[in-house]
Amino acid sequence: EDQVTQSPEALRLQEGESSSLNCSYTVSGLRGLFWYRQDPGKGPEFLFTLYSAGEEKEKERLKATLTKKESFLHITAPKPEDSATYLCAHRGRDDKIIFGKGTRLHILP
Amino acid sequence: DAGVTQSPTHLIKTRGQQVTLRCSPKSGHDTVSWYQQALGQGPQFIFQYYEEEERQRGNFPDRFSGHQFPNYSSELNVNALLLGDSALYLCASSPTRTSAGHGVYTDTQYFGPGTRLTVL
């Protein structure tokens, strides 16, 4: 069964303290691994799409990486405005997109 | 570009009532997907519309139905509302691509702001 598991469920960091969020997945025929940022009560905001193992993408303080079983979202020197829930999702051969439950990230000033 | 828009923003209904939510996709996108997101959970796929037809469906009962119009906008209808239907309903739009390797597939989805439905 296709699944997405994100860890940790919640993470509190001091401003400037770098860390990584994990997304473990099982899927038949990966056709895209997605990262979104979601602020409370709002729709998810697209961050990255990764298609194959070894691929990396960066945007400001965020960097997403992909292996055959996991994806990581690395956050370098975070700021309080990076506080949000980060969602991981994948699309399989059946073209359905499955989301994880997200990691709630809180950056303390 | 206005991005994906949804209406209304908030809605309060009582059990047994029916509700219609609306979505306009991002310019250039022809596929619309609907998701239900309960508090503290990730979005759950309801169904996807392409070329005015339901292309895929998640594990939701027939009380959930939809429609796509020729201009690619879409509606989500929920009949016989239950307390458990209270959630944030998200619409996502994407372009549909065709490739030799993958056939017809949907590209990256972009989400609207959502409609918060409360069932009392």
Give the pLDDT band of residue B102 (cuts 50, 70, 90): low
A97 to B113: CB separation less than 8 angstroms, yes or no: no
Q: What is the mean pLDDT of chain B?
A: 93
Cβ of A31 within 8 Å of Cβ of B113? The answer is no
CATH 3.40.50.720 fits A3-108, yes or no: no
Work out the burial of residue A81: count CB atoms within 10 Å of its CB; fewer than 13 is exposed, 13-18 middle, 19 or more buried: exposed
Query: Residue A13 has what pLDDT?
Result: 97
CB B32 within 8 A of CB B93: yes
Is the pLDDT at B1 greater than 80, yes or no?
no
- Rounded average pLDDT over A7-32: 95
Name the domain count of chain B. 1
3-state secondary structure chain B: CCCCEEECCEEEECCCCCEEEEEECCCCCCEEEEEEECCCCCCEEEEEEECCEEEEECCCCCCEEEEECCCCCEEEEECCCCHHHCEEEEEEEECEEEECCCEEEECCCEECCCEEEEEC
- Whether B103 has a pLDDT exceeding 90, the answer reads no
CB contact under 8 A, B44 and A87: no
Q: What is the pLDDT confidence band of residue A19, given thresholds at 50, 70 and 90?
A: very high
Pairing of strands B115-119, B10-13: parallel
In this predicted structure, the answer to whether residue A87 has a pLDDT above a threshold of 70 is: yes
Q: How far apart are CA B8 and CA B112, in angstroms?
A: 12
Helical (H) or strand (E) element with A50: strand A45-50
* One-letter amino acid for residue B108 of the chain: T
The yes-or-no verdict on residue A72 having pLDDT over 90 is yes
Q: Mean pLDDT, to the nearest integer, of B55-84?
A: 96
| Candidates B45, B58, B108; nearest CB to A46 | B108
Higher pLDDT among residues A27 and A43, named by residue = A43
Mean pLDDT of A24-30: 90
> What CATH number did the domain enclosing B24 receive?
2.60.40.10
pLDDT band at A93 (very low <50, low <70, confident <90, very high): confident
Check CB contact under 8 Å for A99 and B102. Answer: no
- pLDDT-above-70 percentage for chain A: 100
Domain edges within chain A = 3-108
Q: Which of the four pLDDT bands, split at 50, 70 and 90, describes residue A31? A: confident
pLDDT exceeds cutoff 70 at B30: yes
Contact A46, B4 (CB under 8 A): no
Q: What mean pLDDT do residues B43-48 have?
A: 95
Mean pLDDT of chain A: 95
Q: What is the predicted pLDDT for the residue at A51?
A: 92
Q: Which token pair is B81? A: 């509302």
**Position A15 pLDDT exceeds 70:** yes
Q: What is the pLDDT confidence band of residue A62, given thresholds at 50, 70 and 90?
A: very high
Q: How far is A86 from chain B (nearest CA, A)?
A: 10
Give pLDDT, residue A94.
Answer: 81
Q: Could you give the CA distance from residue B113 to residue B60 in angstroms, rounded to a whole number?
A: 22
Residue span of the structural domain in which B93 resides: 5-119
Q: Which residues make Cβ contacts (< 8 Å) with residue A101, sequence separation at least 6?
A: A6, A9, B40, B41, B42
What's the confidence (pLDDT) of residue A79? Answer: 97
